[in-house]
Amino acid sequence: MNEVATLAGGCYWCLEAFYQRVRGISEVVSGYTGGQLKNPTTEQVYAGGTGHAEAVEVTYDPSIISYKEILEIFFVMHDPTQLNRQGPDIGEHYRSAIFYHDAGQKVIAEDMISNFAPELYDKPIVTQLNPYIVLWPADEYMQNFYNNNPSSGYCLAVIDPKIQKLRQKFAEKLI
């Protein structure tokens, strides 16, 4: 039976592109979570003040990849020490956050935030840990962005180098 992980680590296009290449993951949906406004538009989130984070909802087969392994990829592939930003992307909606779906995910996420991530970074980890409530899917043109637009400037400059890092660090987990 499949399970779901919901993660925010900067631009959802990056997270979406990573997790679409990982064995055991059947679906990745980009959207917005953690805010006050119901069913926000992309424009509302980018304007600020909604409290949402860009996030991905990852559907995975735990017999192939564990929640802990998904979080290992999460912490290696984005910088959890940057508050409300990732590289060139700045704003509350680019924050680092894990939205747990149950008590088991919460325990694993707490351990990863306290013990795994600090081993990778010299600065304090700012990743938030919040209960999952709902993910509002982003507009259709925002879904599957890297695969649909591999030659766009953002994909070439920001996502491609991260895909290379994914291949170097997690080759055994890739499709």
Bridge partners (DSSP) of residue 3 are 60
**Cα–Cα nearest to 145, from 78, 51, 23, 137:** 137
For 127, left (φ over 0), alpha (ψ -120 to 50), or beta?
A: beta
Domain spans, the chain: 3-173
Structural element, H or E, at residue 26 = strand 25-33
Instruction: Provide the annotated active-site residues.
Output: 11
* pLDDT the model gives residue 161: 93
Q: How far is CA 37 from CA 32, 40, 138, in A?
A: 10, 6, 14
Say what the pLDDT of residue 128 is. 97
Residue ranges of the chain whose pLDDT lies below 70: none
Q: How wide is the angle at C-alpha 94 spanned by C-alphas 49 and 97, nearest 5°?
A: 100
pLDDT for the residue 88 = 77
Which tokens is 99 given? 């939205």
H helices of 86-139, in order, are 103-111, 117-120
Residue 87: its pLDDT value, please? Answer: 78
CA atoms within a 13 Å half-sphere pointing along the CA-CB vector of 112: 23
Among the CATH numbers 3.30.70.890, 3.40.50.300, 2.70.98.10, 3.30.1060.10, which is that of 3-173?
Answer: 3.30.1060.10
pTM of full prediction above 0.75 = yes
